[in-house]
Structure 1
Amino acid sequence: MTTDAPVPVFDGHNDVLLRLWRSGTKAAEHDFLRENETGHLDLPRARAGGFAGGLFAVYVPSSATATGADGKPEPLAPSLAEAQAATLELVSLLARMERVSDGGLTICRTAGDIRGAMAAGSVAAVLHVEGAEMIDPDLKMLDVLYQAGLRSIGPVWSRTNIFGYGVPFRFPSSPDIGPGLTEEGKALVRACNDLRIMVDLSHLNEQGFWDVAKVSDAPLVASHSNVHALTPHSRNLTDRQLDAIRERDGLVGLNFGTMFMREDGRKDPDTPLDALVRHIDYLVDRIGLDRVGLGSDFDGTTVPNDLRDASRLPALVAAMRKKGYDEDAVTKICSGNWIRVLEKTWQS
């Protein structure tokens, strides 16, 4: 581990809002300001590891399940009322985190905001929705959330809602599971294009991916997904999907979840970082260096022990350098590529 300042990382996905919300702490926003013994991300560990910003997810957990086609339980989407109530609390939590952080965290709406926050040493937080259950069919809530700072949205999580069909967690499995976007989902994508909100392809099944590709005029982005050819998990991207992302000058953010990087698909924290670097190598070869980023899924998945929290990000940087990535390549993968694709998507 070097004593130099860590390489700044702009990360494609974290679930810290959900972790803090679930903690039940009366003033959970203050928990982000102090180092925790649980979870992966807080302000002290972000600063220690160079976590300079990322997409902060609003995700509403499922409260019920149903039996899927394979006989296994699958999560059901929350009701509109349930999702809107939870979303209000989660978006408010992020706003309060910004307010009490004394400049330590900044909600960003433009690429310029991200650059400014990173230059000032403030964590650049972009509001992201993972599963659009809180958005009504008339998309009125989309306008409200946009004004609150929403700049990225995944129409579905790994469950069905009015907008489309999420890909269930299966290994080994193709992502080609079921139908894709509904007509409401296609309308949501068009509205996001109009507002210049990024549409996230992670958690969509393969048909949903191609529906977005057909409807959207923006770069194709998967915020936290890996390579299906290396790890045949349903959440990972096939070569054909990767080729489409390359052709549309998009981006893939590498998920740190061990089940998405291991050949055996296991949740095993005793997984070497070489397994993740192998996915980086494949993506760089397939879609180009400028289209590869990081999408940790901190606070939302089982990560390798060597990346056990945000303070350990320099270990991944060291693993990339050891594999031969120079400083320009490391900088692009760690932050530059994300800012480029967001700027292109937002046109700001």
Structure 2
Amino acid sequence: MYMKVVDFHCDALSKLWENPKASFDNSPDLDVTLKSMEKGDVALQVFAVFLSEQYGRPSFERVMAQIDIFRAKLNGTGKLEWLKWRDQIREVRSGSKRWGLLSLEGVDGLEGNLFYVRLCYELGVRLMGLTWNHANWAADGVMEKRGGGLTDKGREMVQLCNELGIILDVSHLSVAGFWELAELVSRPLIASHSNAYGVCPHPRNLSDEQIRALIAMDGRIGLTFVPWFIRRDTPTVKPEDLLPHVERICSLGGEHHMMFGSDFDGIDQWVEGLESPCKYQDWVNTLLKHYPEQLVQGWMSDNALNFLEQYLPMQQGSQS
């Protein structure tokens, strides 16, 4: 059985920035391409703007460069539509087109300038994670040893995101930052690519308490295909190894709050049988062996689309 897919995290844009000659259509250097999205029936892919520290200090110029790659190489080809507004969700549901949604994975490149936050929104960014793994001007990341929360400027940024309609992402955020952010936001949070700590105790995974908090606020949890977030006791991870994470979230009441955020193009090791979007329909069939069709349909797309239909901003003048 084929099901439409929504994937809430990939790093294809940073790879395209690193290799300007690469083609989004079918480059062998990319996990996520137009061809692989079509083969896996990925209707909507979230593309993260990620600034690797190996290329020097993150800057707004590099943020703009990746947004421009999305505009020119993905949306500009006419083969991928740009999702910005809630009233577009009905087209995602009903049509055969491929869609892309822009996120920012860490606000380091905004350089502490709140005008850049507003400009990102105007340019079409709809999701923002405050940090990557380490500390920046807004907050501490989950791998920062001191484990601090938000800075004063970070709290100002959250207030601006509340006003603009930017959805905030807690994947990579410190535990203290998670709880502080949960008190500050006016719309639910997402964890775009994190698994269950109770199944695999990696710092990037979510505790039961965090999972319950996201469920209580009607947030979303994107289970990810990063092998070492799934299992840490084996060199080979298979799709079935992700099922205990699915079970854990369901047991906490999150069957309608779960989605997937693969982290394709952000990893150099893959789950065997989930190496690219091409394999998504195999994953659908694996899930259908264990769960009812309606639940699987929710995890593959409906839970994510229902969330976006409620919490994306409305286009000015729209009657939706």
Whether the 8 Å contact between 2:60 and 2:111 is mirrored in structure 1 is no
Q: Deviations over 1:20-63 (max 9, x none)?
A: 111231xx4xx111x23233110011101111112110011103
1:21 and 2:17 are equivalent in the alignment: yes
Counting aligned pairs with the same residue, the percent is 29
What corresponds to 2:317 in structure 1? none
**Whole-Å Cα distance in 1 between the matches of residues 89 and 109 of structure 2?**
26
1:320 and 2:287 are equivalent in the alignment: yes
Q: How many residues align?
A: 313
**Whole-Å Cα distance in 1 between the matches of residues 111 and 19 of structure 2?**
28
**Whole-Å Cα distance in 2 between the matches of residues 250 and 326 of structure 1?**
22
What corresponds to 1:132 in structure 2? 107
What corresponds to 2:151 in structure 1? 182
What corresponds to 1:342 in structure 2? 308
Calculate the TM-score normalised by the size of structure 2.
Answer: 0.92
Q: Deviations over 1:110-160 (max 9, x none)?
A: 233243145332221111000101224340011111111010000111111
Per the TM alignment, residue 177 of structure 1 is displaced from its structure 2 partner at its CA by: 5.5
Q: Deviations over 1:88-114 (max 9, x none)?
A: 110000001244433x20111123324
Q: Structure 1 pair 99/240, CA: closer, same or farther in 2 (3 Å)?
A: closer
Whether the 8 Å contact between 2:59 and 2:111 is mirrored in structure 1 is no
Q: How does 1:213-232 map to 2 (within 5 A)?
A: 213-232=182-201
**Whole-Å Cα distance in 1 between the matches of residues 246 and 253 of structure 2?**
10
What corresponds to 1:261 in structure 2? 230
1:48 and 2:39 are equivalent in the alignment: yes
Whether the 8 Å contact between 1:193 and 1:216 is mirrored in structure 2 is yes
Runs (4+) of structure 1 exceeding 6 A deviation are none
Q: Deviations over 1:228-254 (max 9, x none)?
A: 011000000001111111111111000
Q: How does 1:293-308 map to 2 (within 5 A)?
A: 293-301=259-267, 302-308=269-275
**Whole-Å Cα distance in 1 between the matches of residues 27 and 45 of structure 2?**
19
What corresponds to 1:115 in structure 2? 90
Whether the 8 Å contact between 1:177 and 1:206 is mirrored in structure 2 is no
Task: Tell me the amino acid that sits aligned with residue 304 of structure 1.
Answer: V
1:289 and 2:258 are equivalent in the alignment: no
1:276 and 2:242 are equivalent in the alignment: yes
What corresponds to 1:166 in structure 2? 141
Relative to structure 2, which stretch is displaced further, 326-335 or 176-185?
A: 176-185
SS at match of 2:52: coil
1:96 and 2:72 are equivalent in the alignment: yes
SS at match of 1:249: coil
Whether the 8 Å contact between 1:198 and 1:342 is mirrored in structure 2 is no
Per the TM alignment, residue 315 of structure 1 is displaced from its structure 2 partner at its CA by: 1.4
Q: Structure 1 pair 117/245, CA: closer, same or farther in 2 (3 Å)?
A: closer
Gaps of at least 5 residues in structure 2 are 315-320
Whether the 8 Å contact between 1:17 and 1:58 is mirrored in structure 2 is yes
SS at match of 1:225: coil
Task: Tell me the amino acid that sits aligned with residue 182 of structure 2.
Answer: A
Match for residue 234 of structure 1 among 203, 213, 217 = 203
**Whole-Å Cα distance in 2 between the matches of residues 136 and 300 of structure 1?**
23
Per the TM alignment, residue 274 of structure 1 is displaced from its structure 2 partner at its CA by: 1.1
Per the TM alignment, residue 193 of structure 1 is displaced from its structure 2 partner at its CA by: 0.9
1:57 and 2:48 are equivalent in the alignment: yes
Per the TM alignment, residue 347 of structure 1 is displaced from its structure 2 partner at its CA by: 5.1
Gaps of at least 5 residues in structure 1 are 65-77, 170-175
Per the TM alignment, residue 220 of structure 1 is displaced from its structure 2 partner at its CA by: 2.3
**Whole-Å Cα distance in 2 between the matches of residues 146 and 38 of structure 1?**
30
Whether the 8 Å contact between 1:293 and 1:338 is mirrored in structure 2 is yes
Q: How does 1:143-158 map to 2 (within 5 A)?
A: 143-158=118-133
Calculate the TM-score normalised by the size of structure 1.
Answer: 0.85
Whether the 8 Å contact between 2:126 and 2:167 is mirrored in structure 1 is yes
Whether the 8 Å contact between 1:108 and 1:125 is mirrored in structure 2 is yes
Task: Tell me the amino acid that sits aligned with residue 289 of structure 1.
Answer: E
1:194 and 2:175 are equivalent in the alignment: no
Match for residue 329 of structure 1 among 295, 302, 312 = 295
Task: Tell me the amino acid that sits aligned with residue 319 of structure 1.
Answer: T
Task: Tell me the amino acid that sits aligned with residue 202 of structure 2.
Answer: H
**Whole-Å Cα distance in 2 between the matches of residues 121 and 83 of structure 1?**
36
**Whole-Å Cα distance in 2 between the matches of residues 225 and 57 of structure 1?**
15
SS at match of 1:245: helix
Task: Tell me the amino acid that sits aligned with residue 211 of structure 1.
Answer: E
Whether the 8 Å contact between 2:86 and 2:310 is mirrored in structure 1 is no
Relative to structure 2, which stretch is displaced further, 93-102 or 154-163?
A: 93-102
**Whole-Å Cα distance in 2 between the matches of residues 287 and 314 of structure 1?**
25
Aligned residues: CA RMSD: 1.8
**Whole-Å Cα distance in 1 between the matches of residues 222 and 50 of structure 2?**
18
